[in-house]
């Protein structure tokens, strides 16, 4: 089968012919229809320090997708050939303390599809049936293909009460943009999104009503807060840039007793002034992946109840134009980029 392979220890990704994966008793085999490019795939493409120390070469990468089941293992009885599906990319052990305690997203032995085991930039993907999410009919193929990052946004945005709250989102990447839509839907009063990239701030502004954007490279966050009439600071902060100065700016603009959820992953160690956390009595929660499978349930229902995330998808390419797709993603002048198989 055709697959995009991290075939060499250098920048790039290559289309190759690789053996089709085989389907075990508890697995399903999915024919991939759409693949989306994740920030993680960009780290692997650019071959940065993290990728060099994490990805065994050669490796079929990718983990954002939707497709159709073409084979099911003998022990699988809740899914059928022909089902439209996406899937959870974190494969968990099922027997560690957290798995047994119902916190599978915190499994001590998590293995990542397209990171530690073969991924979905391929004609076929095999995953455990437990990781499969059967798509409700109201979720379009395009939206389904970005359910993995949508799940990061849902998990982060629903960490704290949103009703009537003023929310700061640092980072208007695809996940920050989707989070803005979720916060508004969940009842936030003001949602302010910061970035240093005007293209992305424009996407954020248009994802839902009543979203304020601030380019922190040339405007003051405080000015935006004053013009909204905010006097005391943000109630909830969602850090979605992975940039230390953004987190610092967030902490210094929170209300006393405010709550922060951190999704963004800084590439290196960062320095923070913990005085903000202590004297303001801030609560800080780290977010990893998606809750299995409560976040997936919420995703399906949020789409049905009116959270519209299509507009974060800005580009479509045929899988054969994957080089152009990766370059578009690397340019910073895009939201989500989708590659179509067939
Ligand atoms: P992205 O890299 O596309 O977006 C990050 C955005 O932050 C960019 O638009 C960038 O311009 C912006 N930014 C840069 N400097 C800034 C500043 N000073 N203030 C505000 N914004 C600034 O990333 P994404 O795909 O949207 O993902 C968001 C973050 O979440 C990334 O750090 C990613 O690595 C991380 N992530 C974490 C998990 C997890 O499980 N914890 C899962 C997926 C992604
Ligand atoms: Zn486990």
Say yes or no: 278 and 296 in one domain: no
Q: Is 110 a catalytic residue?
A: no
Cβ atoms of 317 and 340 within 8 Å: the answer is yes
Q: How far is the CA of 288 from the centre of ligand 2 (A)?
A: 14
Query: How many whole angstroms separate alpha carbon 205 and alpha carbon 210?
Result: 8
ipTM beyond 0.95?
Answer: yes
Residue 243 Cβ inside 6 Å of ligand 1? The answer reads yes
Say yes or no: 139 and 241 in one domain: no
Low-confidence residues of the chain: pLDDT under 70: none
Domain count, the chain: 2
Q: Which of 286, 302, 329 is the last residue of a domain?
A: 286
Say yes or no: 262 and 323 in one domain: no
Say yes or no: 183 and 87 in one domain: no
Taking CA atoms only, the protein residue closest to ligand 1 atom 18 is 246
Tell me the DSSP string of 228-262.
HT--S-EEEEEE-S--HHHHHHHHHTEEEEEEEEE
Query: How many whole angstroms separate alpha carbon 90 and alpha carbon 103?
Result: 13
Q: What is the CA radius of gyration of the chain?
A: 20
The domain that holds 276 is classified in CATH as 3.40.50.720
Say yes or no: 301 and 222 in one domain: no
Residue 153 Cβ inside 6 Å of ligand 1? The answer reads no
Say yes or no: 29 and 141 in one domain: yes
What residues make up the domain containing 55? 2-151+290-340
Say yes or no: 46 and 112 in one domain: yes
Q: Which of 247, 262, 286 is the last residue of a domain?
A: 286
Q: What does the pLDDT look like over 37-53, one tens digit per residue?
A: 999 999 999 999 999 99
Say yes or no: 19 and 78 in one domain: yes
Read off the pTM: 0.98
Say yes or no: 172 and 91 in one domain: no
Q: Is 40 a catalytic residue?
A: yes
Residue 341 Cβ inside 6 Å of ligand 1? The answer reads no
Q: What does the pLDDT look like over 107-142, one tens digit per residue?
A: 999 999 999 999 999 999 999 999 999 999 999 999
Say yes or no: 18 and 137 in one domain: yes
Predicted pLDDT at 22? 98
């Amino acid at each position: 089968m055709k697959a995009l392979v991290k075939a060499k220890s250098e920048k790039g990704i290559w289309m190759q012919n690789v053996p089709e994966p085989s389907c075990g008793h508890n697995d399903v085999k999915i024919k991939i229809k759409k693949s989306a490019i994740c920030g993680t795939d960009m780290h692997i493409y650019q071959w940065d320090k993290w990728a060099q120390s994490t990805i065994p070469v050669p490796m079929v990468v990718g983990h954002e997708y939707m497709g159709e089941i073409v084979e099911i293992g003998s022990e699988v009885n809740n899914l059928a050939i022909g089902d439209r599906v996406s899937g959870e990319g974190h494969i968990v052990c099922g027997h560690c303390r957290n798995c047994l305690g119902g916190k599978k997203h915190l499994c001590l032995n998590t293995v990542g599809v397209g990171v530690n085991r073969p991924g979905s930039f391929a004609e076929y993907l095999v995953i455990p049936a437990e990781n499969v999410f059967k798509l409700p009919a109201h979720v379009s193929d395009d939206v389904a293909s970005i359910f993995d990052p949508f799940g990061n946004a849902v998990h982060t945005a629903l960490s704290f009460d949103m009703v009537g709250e003023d929310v700061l989102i640092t980072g208007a990447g695809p996940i920050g943009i989707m989070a803005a839509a979720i916060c508004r839907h969940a009842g936030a009063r003001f949602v302010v999104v910061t970035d240093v990239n005007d293209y992305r701030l424009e996407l954020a502004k248009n994802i839902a009503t009543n979203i304020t954007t601030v380019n922190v490279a040339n405007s003051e966050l405080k000015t935006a807060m004053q013009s909204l009439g905010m006097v005391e600071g943000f109630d909830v902060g969602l850090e979605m840039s992975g940039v230390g100065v953004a987190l610092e700016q967030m902490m210094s603009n929170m209300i006393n007793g405010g709550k922060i959820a951190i999704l963004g992953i800084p590439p290196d160690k960062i320095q923070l002034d913990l005085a903000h956390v202590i004297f303001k009595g801030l609560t800080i929660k780290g977010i990893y992946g998606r809750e299995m499978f409560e976040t997936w349930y919420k995703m399906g229902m949020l789409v049905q109840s009116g959270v519209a995330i299509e507009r974060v998808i800005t580009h479509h390419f045929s899988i054969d134009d994957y080089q152009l797709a990766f370059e578009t993603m690397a340019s910073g002048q895009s939201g989500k980029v989708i590659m179509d198989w067939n």
